[in-house]
Amino acid sequence: GRFIKYMAEAASGRILGEVLFAVMAYRLPGFLELILPLSLFLGVLLAYGQLYLSNEMTVLNACGIGQRQVLIFTLFPALSLAVLVGVLSLYLTPLGNSRVEQILTEQKSRTEFETLTPGRFHSGGDLVVYARSLSTDKTQMEKLFIYQGEKNREVDGEILVSQILLTAQTGVRRVDPHSGDQYLELRNGYRYEGTPGRHDYHKMSFESYRYRLGTAAEPVEIRKLKSRSTASLIGSDVLKEKAELQWRISMPLLVFIVGMMAIPLSKVNPRHGRFLKLIPSVMLYLSYVLLLITSQKWIEKGEISPVFGLWWVHGVFFVIALFMLLSSRYQFSLRRLWVGGQ
């Protein structure tokens, strides 16, 4: 959805095409932060399911590799992935979000002449601009047409709404070295000002005319919560900031717990196929994530204490994972005793 939105803005000229790829690159850590836990969960689920399906897990159990060893083998890569997701959620994702916010804010503050496409009319607010040709750096233009929006003027004591048209053979975009303000230096053209329907238009020819574009750009202030650094959220008493901090910490915990849950869920009967438990397992995973999202909203609204926060969700699913692991191990032990007794 966001990619399509950025593509539409790039196509309309509101953001530069080369900026689009930078924005998507900075958004990548946030995408990986969400997709990696699910990838681990599905990977363990399907890989171990295949081992059960081909009876290889039975052979491994007969060779002395029980569920405890399988759990250890699984948690080592899960722990490594949890560290990676922690780096993403605590550092890289907010850093990427802040860079995206800066880029988009800078793009919105650009003048119409920075987004201009040669041979096409470009409208922005009360301004319409056309240039037949344009240099690569978009500072030099030829055959310019500029329409400026309506403004009030007084004629014989009567307030009239007038419009301004500018035409010029060439134009050069410059920046004042002292103030940083941008202006367009037009050469060899005309300036028209008047009210539609009246004949008292003012026409002025010029050899050189300065048209102010905008003031110097101010430093971009990071405002969005998801763009704030993790260090700035620690110790905050604001509920939304507490909820955001707990969400970031929750991502590596999610990896660890779903890795545990996937082991007993992967156990399938060879006659049923490994996809029998796939949908219920994915539903369990989605329930976990949705509860985290809901609890985050509850913290923001003050409906639950930040002391409980998102931790109760992790606690519930950690207990569920332990219960499934112990139940599976207990059933396996009973089966071994039954077979040994016969």
Beta-bridge partner residues of 190 = 167, 205
- Give the residue with greater pLDDT, 342 vs 111: 111
Last residue of a domain, which of 157, 190, 214?
A: 214
- The SS3 assignment for 280 reads helix
- Give the residue with greater pLDDT, 77 vs 106: 77
Residue 127 has pLDDT above 70, yes or no: yes
Q: What is the pLDDT of residues 175-208, one digit of tens each?
A: 777 766 778 888 998 988 877 777 777 888 988 8
pLDDT the model gives residue 111 = 54
Rounded-to-integer distance, Cα 36 and Cα 86, Å: 11
Q: Quick one: tokens of 196?
A: 């539609």
C-beta of residue 40 within 8 angstroms of C-beta of residue 258: yes
Rounded-to-integer distance, Cα 268 and Cα 274, Å: 6
Q: Which residue has the tokens 């003048």?
A: 111
- 99 and 7 in one domain? yes
Cα–Cα distance list, 320 to 82, 276, 285, 291, 295 (Å): 19, 20, 12, 14, 18
Last residue of a domain, which of 178, 195, 214?
A: 214
Rounded-to-integer distance, Cα 188 and Cα 42, Å: 68
pLDDT the model gives residue 181 = 75
- 203 and 126 in one domain? yes
C-beta of residue 180 within 8 angstroms of C-beta of residue 215: yes
pLDDT the model gives residue 342 = 45
Q: Which runs of consecutive H residues, i.e. helices, occur in the chain?
A: 2-12, 17-53, 56-62, 67-87, 93-108, 230-233, 239-265, 278-301, 311-341
Full residue range of the structural domain in which residue 290 is found: 2-107+223-341
**338 — pLDDT class (breaks 50, 70, 90):** very low
Q: What is the pLDDT of residues 82-108, one digit of tens each?
A: 999 999 999 999 999 999 888 877 766
What's the number of domains the chain is made of? 2
pLDDT the model gives residue 339 = 41
pLDDT the model gives residue 155 = 56
What global pTM score does this model have?
A: 0.69
**15 — pLDDT class (breaks 50, 70, 90):** low
